[in-house]
Homo-oligomer: A and B are copies of this chain.
């Protein structure tokens, strides 16, 4: 499967980067082709500006980068998103990627029952997150906000049927052994 692996983390020595490299290596070793998308390195501008919004209803964007990202998603059969959870959610850079790239008409269209997703060529999406909040607190206090908004409210809404979320936590105090085990666990999702 051709897989688009998206990373949203600015620090090159972050654990998210290690996950990103490991996922890419594992996919390539398993015979898949990989499209690396390092959003910070790309210099993507996540802000939906007046001119973007003015043409949004027509299914267009004023940012020329958007069409190129859409072509890369069109070409993918699998999607991997790797990012840290800051203030219970994805970084602004990834939020803006959703805001701007998932245009009406291309990613979805309004239907009688709400929304019809157009990204059903994506056979699987895997969301890998790091955070310091304990998992129980993230679930019970903050309602698994990334799952509700990104998995259910964005990817599934856009027609991606199979979406897995791997929540790694707490990362800041994790031992080297634990970090290694998590890398293996995430890699294990991509070995065939």
Question: Are A114 and B137 closer than 8 Å at their CB atoms?
Answer: yes
Q: Which of A24-32, A73-81, A138-146, A160-168 contacts B (4 or more CB under 8 A)?
A: A138-146
Within 8 A of B (CB), among A112-151: 114, 137, 141-145, 147-150
Question: Are B88 and A96 closer than 8 Å at their CB atoms?
Answer: no
The 7 A-B residue pairs with the shortest CB-CB distance, nearest first, are A92-B96, A143-B148, A88-B153, A88-B149, A46-B92, A92-B95, A143-B143
CA separation between A142 and B147, bound complex, in Å? 8
Question: Contacts A10-B49, A153-B141: A87 and B92 contacting too (C-beta < 8 A)?
Answer: no
Question: Are A98 and B93 closer than 8 Å at their CB atoms?
Answer: no
CB distance from A189 to the nearest CB of B (A): 24
Question: Is A18 an interface residue, CB under 8 A from the partner?
Answer: no
User: Looking at the complex, which one of B91, B143, B147 makes contact with A95 (CB distance below 8 Å)?
Assistant: B91
Question: Chain A interface residue count: which class?
Answer: 35 or more
Question: Is A99 an interface residue, CB under 8 A from the partner?
Answer: yes
Question: Is A67 an interface residue, CB under 8 A from the partner?
Answer: no
With A89-B89, A149-B149 given, name 12 new contacts (CB 8 A).
A10-B48, A10-B52, A11-B54, A40-B47, A87-B102, A88-B149, A90-B95, A91-B95, A92-B96, A93-B96, A95-B95, A142-B153
**A95: which B residues are within 8 A, CB to CB?**
87, 89-92, 95
